[in-house]
Amino acid sequence: MIFGDKDEYAIEVYHEPLDNNSFYMTGRMCLHFYGEPFGDINYAGYVGSFCVTYRCLLEKINDLESIKYNFDLETDVNIFDFLNVKLYMADDETTYEQIVIDDKKYRKYDFLTNGGEMFDGTISFIYLDNNEKIHILYQIHYKNDEIICIQLDKETFINVTKEFIKWYESTSNINITK
């Protein structure tokens, strides 16, 4: 099933239930940004959980204003590097207290890093700029470590993501939005 348009923004998902008495929805999925996949929808022989991805997308949609920020850095690559250091690359001189402060301040910009098995090997961030554009910055380690920076129309992001959320909630019979 595909929500949205792969040539702009889409969420591709295939529900493959596991016979394990679990309430977690499982299957394969990825996101598409301008024709390029983000996430490994064809990870051989493995079915991943949609729960973490669902919760991340739901959190972003429910409070987009919280990720509005002017990083005052020149490029999205600089922003990716900044957030990566603040959230994932503390050095020996960074105090525990500073790590906690940085995590509280910047965790909301984390996107789908560890967002389910299909996003293993990726680091990604999201923010809303002052012009109401969604920026998604990501790096896929199993490809070539290139940092990819895309911009999406806010309404497109909201509409496609809400379609996925609605499908997830109706299929899983779980609704935590209320």
pLDDT of residue 178: 42
Residue 61 in this model has a pLDDT that exceeds 80: yes
* pLDDT value of position 71: 84
- What pTM was computed for the model? 0.87
Instruction: Identify whether the C-beta of residue 137 lies closer than 8 Å to the C-beta of residue 129.
Output: no
Q: What is the pLDDT of residue 91?
A: 76
Mean pLDDT value across the chain: 86
| Confidence (pLDDT) at 97 | 92
The partner residues of 33 in beta bridges, in order of sequence, read: 9, 36
Residue 114 CB neighbours (<10 A): 14
pLDDT band with cut points at 50, 70 and 90 for residue 22: low
pLDDT in tens, 66-119: 999 888 898 999 999 999 999 988 677 888 999 999 999 999 999 988 777 788
Where does the pLDDT of residue 175 fall: very low under 50, low under 70, confident under 90, or very high at 90 and above? Answer: very low
Greater model confidence, 138 or 21? 138
Q: Where are the domains of the chain?
A: 2-172
Mean pLDDT of 155-165: 96
Q: What is the DSSP annotation of 12-69?
A: EEEE---SSS--S-EEEEEEEETTEEES-TT-TT--EESHHHHHHHHHHHHTGGGGB-
